[in-house]
């Protein structure tokens, strides 16, 4: 069978990839890799060139084959692709565990560190150090029985995490709400209403059919004047894949979550960590459980007063006690009342083509690159676009896909992921390629997609991740781009770039009214910028609620008592939540970041890195936000380094000192900061 996943092409042949190609390709590449690993493990006099470089190349090749499969499963999910994807998870899990538990390879790396270490360059030493750390964290030092058990735990975790995400996707796709009274849609934007009308028509229904994609959920709870509609959509969204709500019990993640927590705890204890939170911190900037908890609680103490004041003012504005599904609606109206501006009013000023143009100009000006669209590249959906990044001299730096719009069978949210990682090895070279994925409302009729400013910030955020991946100068795949970067520092570039979505000069570049062509008027721009600190306390407390919940369920797991997910969430809410939620809210059941993604015991990273990002941007504010010397230093110290340097050392190199929380609190208009560092 001619298998496009095994073709040596610069980019994946998405148009040719079929579910039946997946498992044969993965089996073939893993078989080849195992044979090569056996050869490398038998090398009599291991050196960096003889062992480490070939292993870097092997891992790069496996990633190249698996990446398009994993990506398609997220953006173009189907039953057949899901089955093929799931069939490969145990194969990949077993391969990676076997590799990292290989005692001959571990001894080879130890020998390289001992004999070649002093002569290696700093990046090469870092490659070896990270590999030795990862060998230990995979149980290379365990006895045979404990190794076998660790491998089995990792395999089961991989499958459970995939099932968690599938349950959320299925629950999201299954829900619809049929509206027959046009008055119930009052307040929603016309583009969304028209799409709902077309969807109903396709199903031979009168009226309008709402789905549970992310743009629809946000639009309804923010803008729908009909409270029963807000409640219905809120309930469907916050009870997905749970024992509550309109599909109660059908895709319930309760037992999946319990099993994930149990297995993570067992894996950590096999490696002699007290809990999974300790195990996770072995690769992060933060070093102890107490350090993270203290950081989160200090932020909570700084923000609580502002949050309580904001919520009291909101209920006074509404003139009544607010339910959770009322809060976004009245917050939007209060913001509009205070600043005479709303997200929906801003949409016509932010057509996606103009926003992209301004975003690219910002990156070009900061980092001396050029971004150009390329046509004729194989893509997975007609809406997908492809861009190249070049240096100022015209040399190719990297490329990225942009998949901007929500659609059925696509995971909600926004993310950046690796399609191809950078490498420069004796065996050959590869330039980095990224996937940038969002879930914006698609174009309607002759109009391009129109973004809210929240959408604009999301796009800047993901592009910041993309720049981290694409502008790397590290030649070894395991440390290039975001690879090897401490997870609590990986959000620094993305949150840093968000600041430019709020800057007056950039707002002029990214705004152009879809009908008149006018930039965002000065008064609207000033009002928009003033909204940045609107309800900043409430927003911060909400993120701290998620972070404390995540960290505590992993730090406090007790096999005798189980995960206590609901109990710990209730305790965290009593400690930090300001907005009350109904007893049937089951947000944890769709919390994919921690139960299906890479943020387990790591959701605190968003706030941790936000401190770094605000402090980094403060350096630009001191010299000028487009100051070339400051931008070059940020590129050289942060973006280009990947995982080749300790993130705290890299930050100090850029900033000249350790990070300070003050800039973040000042940015959001929150006073009373402790001033302690992250």
Q: Which residues are catalytic?
A: 462
Please say whether the beta carbons of 158 and 289 come within 8 A: no
CA gap 520, 347 in Å, rounded: 11
DSSP state of 321: P
Nearest CA-CA partner of 274 in 499, 582, 555, 672: 555
The H or E element containing residue 386 is: strand 385-391
Residue 533 C-beta-side C-alpha neighbours within 13 Å: 12
Contacts of 238 (CB under 8 A, 6+ apart): 245, 324, 581, 585, 586, 587, 590
DSSP states along 292-334 = HHHHHHHHHHHHHHHHHHHHHHHHHHHTSPPPTTTHHHHHHHH
Q: Dihedrals φ, ψ of 210, to 5°? A: -95, 145
Biggest CA pair distance of the chain? 78
CB 373 within 8 A of CB 392: no
Helix H or strand E encompassing 358:
helix 352-367
CA angle 228, 231, 233 (to 5 degrees): 110
Assess contact for 531 and 342: CB atoms under 8 A. Answer: no
Asked if residues 651 and 638 have their Cβ atoms less than 8 Å apart, the reply is yes
DSSP code of 535? T
Pair 541, 578: CB distance under 8 Å: yes
Q: How many angstroms separate the CA atoms of 539 and 314, rounded?
A: 14
* DSSP code at position 450: B
Instruction: Copy the structure tokens of residue 17.
Output: 């990839």
Closest C-alpha among 648, 673, 651 to residue 662? 673
579 phi-psi bin (left φ>0, alpha ψ -120 to 50, beta other):
beta
Two tokens, residue 334: 């209060």
What does the alpha-carbon distance between residue 431 and residue 598 come to, in Å, rounded to a whole number? 24
Please tell me the total number of residues recorded for the chain in this structure: 678
Phi, psi (deg, nearest 5) at residue 638: -115, -65
* Best CA proximity match to 191, nearest among 344, 64, 333, 326: 344
The alpha-carbon radius of gyration of the chain (Å, integer) is 25
Output the 3-class SS for 49-65: HHHHHHHHHHHHHHHHH
* Rounded distance between C-alpha atoms, residue 306 and residue 670, angstroms: 7
């Amino acid at each position: 069978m001619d298998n496009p996943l095994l073709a040596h092409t610069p980019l994946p042949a998405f148009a040719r990839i079929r579910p039946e190609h997946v498992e044969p390709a993965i089996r073939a590449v893993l078989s080849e890799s195992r044979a090569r690993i056996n050869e490398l493990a038998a090398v009599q006099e291991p050196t960096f060139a003889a062992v480490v470089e070939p292993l870097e190349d092997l891992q790069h090749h496996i990633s190249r084959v698996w990446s398009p499969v994993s990506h398609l499963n997220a953006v173009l999910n189907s039953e057949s692709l899901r089955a093929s994807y799931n069939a490969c998870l145990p194969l990949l899990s077993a391969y990676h565990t076997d590799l990292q538990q290989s005692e001959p390879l571990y001894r080879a790396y130890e020998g390289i560190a001992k004999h070649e270490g002093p002569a290696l360059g700093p990046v090469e030493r870092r490659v070896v150090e990270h590999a030795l750390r990862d060998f230990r964290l995979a149980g290379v030092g365990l006895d045979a029985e404990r190794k076998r058990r660790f491998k089995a735990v990792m395999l089961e975790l991989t499958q459970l995490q995939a099932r968690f995400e599938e349950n959320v996707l299925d629950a999201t796709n299954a829900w619809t709400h049929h509206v027959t009274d046009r008055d119930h849609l009052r307040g929603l934007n016309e583009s969304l209403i028209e799409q709902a009308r077309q969807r109903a028509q396709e199903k031979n229904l009168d009226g309008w059919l709402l789905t549970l994609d992310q743009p629809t959920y946000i639009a309804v709870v923010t803008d729908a004047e009909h409270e029963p509609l807000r409640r219905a959509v809120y309930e469907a969204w916050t009870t997905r894949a749970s024992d509550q709500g309109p599909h109660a019990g059908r895709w319930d993640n309760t037992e999946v979550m319990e099993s994930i927590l149990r297995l993570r705890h067992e894996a950590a204890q096999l490696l002699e960590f007290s809990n999974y939170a300790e195990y996770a911190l072995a690769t992060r900037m933060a070093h102890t459980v107490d350090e993270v908890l203290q950081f989160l609680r200090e932020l909570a103490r700084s923000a609580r007063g502002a949050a309580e004041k904001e919520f009291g003012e909101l209920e006074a504005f509404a003139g009544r006690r607010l339910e959770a599904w009322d809060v976004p609606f009245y917050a939007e109206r209060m913001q509009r009342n205070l600043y005479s501006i709303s997200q929906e009013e801003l949409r016509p000023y932010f057509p996606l083509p103009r926003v992209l143009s301004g975003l690219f100009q910002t990156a070009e000006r900061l980092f001396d690159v050029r971004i150009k669209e390329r046509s004729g590249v194989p893509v997975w959906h007609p809406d997908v676009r492809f861009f190249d990044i070049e240096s100022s001299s015209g040399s190719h730096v990297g490329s990225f896909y942009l998949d901007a719009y929500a659609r059925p069978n696509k995971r909600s949210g926004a993310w950046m992921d690796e399609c191809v990682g950078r490498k420069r090895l004796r065996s050959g070279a590869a330039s980095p390629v990224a996937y940038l994925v969002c879930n914006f409302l698609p174009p309607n009729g002759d109009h391009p997609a129109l973004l809210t400013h929240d959408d604009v910030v999301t796009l800047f955020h993901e592009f910041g991740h993309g720049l981290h991946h694409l502008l790397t100068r590290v030649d070894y795949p395991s440390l290039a781009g975001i690879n090897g970067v401490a997870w609590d520092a990986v959000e620094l570039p993305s949150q840093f770039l968000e600041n430019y979505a709020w800057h007056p000069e950039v707002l002029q570049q990214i705004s152009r009214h879809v009908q008149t062509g006018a930039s965002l008027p000065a008064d609207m721009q000033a009002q928009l910028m003033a909204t940045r600190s609107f309800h900043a306390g409430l927003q911060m407390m909400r993120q701290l609620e998620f972070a404390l919940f995540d960290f505590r369920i992993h730090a406090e797991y007790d096999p005798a008592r189980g995960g206590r997910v609901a109990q710990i969430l209730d305790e965290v809410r009593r400690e930090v939540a300001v907005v009350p939620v109904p007893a049937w809210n089951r947000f944890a059941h769709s919390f994919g970041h921690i139960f299906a993604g890479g943020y387990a015991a790591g959701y605190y990273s968003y706030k941790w890195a936000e401190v770094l990002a605000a402090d980094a941007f403060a350096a630009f504010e001191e010299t000028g936000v487009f100051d070339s010397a400051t931008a070059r230093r940020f590129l050289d110290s942060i973006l280009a380094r990947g995982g080749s340097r300790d993130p705290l050392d890299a930050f100090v190199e850029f900033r000249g000192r350790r990070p300070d929380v003050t800039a973040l609190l000042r940015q959001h208009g929150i006073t009373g900061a402790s001033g302690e560092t992250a």
